[in-house]
Chains A and B, each alone.
Chain A
C-alpha cells in the first residue's frame, strides 16, 4: 500500500486536489462548468499534436489549453459562453481527431490522457505539478478581490471599473493552467469532476468564500485519496471512484444544507411556542 508509486500518487493527488478545490470554487461561483469541461478536453488534442511533432506532452497541453481559453473569450464577445465553449470544444477535438489519424498513438495512451494514470506518476513529475499548482494559487491570490466581486455581482464589479471580459479571460487562463498541471496526472475527465463536485458541495454547506474554498479543497482531497485507496484495493479504475465520490460529496452537501434548514426551522418554531 505504501510503496514508492503509491506515495507519488498520494502527493500528486494532494496538490491537484488543493488547486482544484480553489479553482473549482470560482468555477461553480461563475457558473463556468462548461469551460471547465471544454478546456481540459480540448487540450487533450494538444497532447496528440505534441506527440506528432515530437515535443513534450506538457507543451502541447499548455498551448492548446491557452488557445482554447483565448478562443472561448473571443467568441464570447458575440455569443453566450456556453455556445462559445461548445464551438471551441468541437474545433479543438476535430483537430485532435486529425492529429490522432496522423500519428500511431495507441488507444491505451489516449485512454490514459482522458482518464489519467495517477498510479503511474513518476517522481520527476511531482515537481512540475507542484510548481504549476503554486502558480495557479498565486494568480488566484493576486486577482482574489476583483475575481470574487465579478463572480458574485458582475454589475457592481463593472461599475467599479473591473472589466468583466478581462476577468472572464483571466479566469479561463487559470483554468488552462490547472488543466496543464492536472491532465497528465489525473486525466481530462477527472479534473472536471474535481472542479465541480467538491466545490459545489462546499458551497451548499457554507456561503463564506474563504471557508468554502478550504472546505472544497478538503473534500477534493478526501475524494481523491479515498479513490486511490479504493482503486488500489479493488483494481478498478481511479476515474470511476473519483467521479462517484465527487457525486456523493455533492449529494451530501445538498442533504446537509436541507437538514440544517429544517433543524433551524424546528428550533425557531419551538422558540416561538
Chain B
C-alpha cells in the first residue's frame, strides 16, 4: 500500500482535477475575502443561509430550464434586500430576519425540487445542490464564476474603508457620516453573490466551511484586517488543494475504488487547521483569568 507518490500519479494531468483546482481556488479566495468581514460583523448565519436560499432559486431555475447559477444569484440578491428591509438593527434581530427568509426559501425549495423530480426525473438535484462535488463541476461555468468573483472583489474594494469602520463600530461610523445602512446592504449583496458562486460550484457545505473556517482561524492569529484577509485567502486555497489531493489519492487506498468525497476532505482539512491554531494560540496566551472571560 504505497500512500502518496503513486496515488497522486496523473493528478495535474487529470481534467476534472484541474477544473476542481481552478474553481476551488477562485471560490476560496472570494469566500475568504467576504468571510473575514462575515466573522467580524457576526453575519455568518446570513452567509450560510444564502446557500439554502439560493438553492430555492437554483431549483426553480432548473424547473424553467435556466442555468442554476442564474437562479441562485437572483434569488440571493432579492433575499439580501428583503433581509435588510425586515431590518431590525441588533444582531439578534438580524438573525431572526435571516431565519424568516431562510424558512420561506426552504419551503420554496421543497416545492421546486419536488416539481423538478416529477417533471425532469432528476432526483439527484437535492444531493448535488447540498453536497456538490468539485469533480463534477462543468468547466463551461468557469468564465461566469470568474466574472462574479471579480464583481465581489470590486464591491469589497470599493466599500473597504467604510465597511471596516461600520464593522468595528457602527455608531462611530454614523457620527463620521458613513451611510451605515447603505454599506450594510452593499456588503450583504457581496456576501450573497460570493455564496451563490460557492454553493453552485462546490455545494452548500463547502461554501459555509470556506466562508467561516479560514476567517475564524486567522482571526485567532491577527486582528489586523489586511493581514487577516491575505492569510485567510492563502489558508482557504491551501485547504482546498490539500483536500482535493487527499480525495484524489484516497481512491487508490480503498479496495472498492470508492474514494472519500472531496467535500468531506476539504471540510476536514479546514477543521484541522482551525483546531490546531485555536489550540496553539491558547497555549501562547496561557490561562485566561475569569476577569478576562467576563469582559469578553
Contacts and interface: CB of A to CB of B under 8 A. Distances in A.
Contacts of A86: 44-45, 47-48, 208, 211-212
A126 to B, nearest CB: 23
Given A91-B267, A100-B127, A115-B110, 5 more contacts: A33-B96, A37-B99, A85-B44, A97-B261, A114-B130
Residue of B93, B205, B258 with most partner-chain A CB within 10 A: B205
A119 to B, nearest CB: 13
Interface stretch (A74-82, A128-136, A170-178): A74-82
B271 A241 contact: no
B232 to A, nearest CB: 13
- Grouping DSSP codes into helix (H, G, I), strand (E, B) and loop, the A interface class, with mixed when no group exceeds half, is helix
A247 B104 contact: yes
27 contacts: A31-B96, A33-B96, A33-B98, A34-B45, A37-B45, A37-B48, A82-B95, A83-B212, A87-B209, A87-B216, A90-B209, A91-B267, A93-B131, A93-B204, A94-B263, A94-B268, A97-B264, A101-B261, A110-B127, A190-B106, A193-B107, A196-B96, A196-B99, A240-B111, A243-B106, A244-B104, A247-B103
Contacts of B93: 31
B58 interface: no
B154 to A, nearest CB: 26
A239 interface: yes
A243 B104 contact: yes
A31 B99 CA distance: 10
Interface residues of B, number: 58
B169 to A, nearest CB: 16
Interface of A: 28, 31-34, 36-37, 78-80, 82-83, 85-87, 89-91, 93-98, 100-102, 107-108, 110-111, 114-115, 189-190, 192-193, 196-197, 200, 236-244, 246-247, 250
B114 interface: yes
Contacts of B264: 94-95, 97-98, 101
A89 B103 contact: no
Given A36-B99, A86-B44, A246 B104 contact: yes
Contacts of A196: 96, 99-100, 103
Residue of B114, B124, B206 with most partner-chain A CB within 10 A: B114
Given A28-B96, A34-B45, A82-B44, A114 B261 contact: no
Interface in B256-281: 258, 260-261, 263-264, 266-268, 270-271, 274, 278
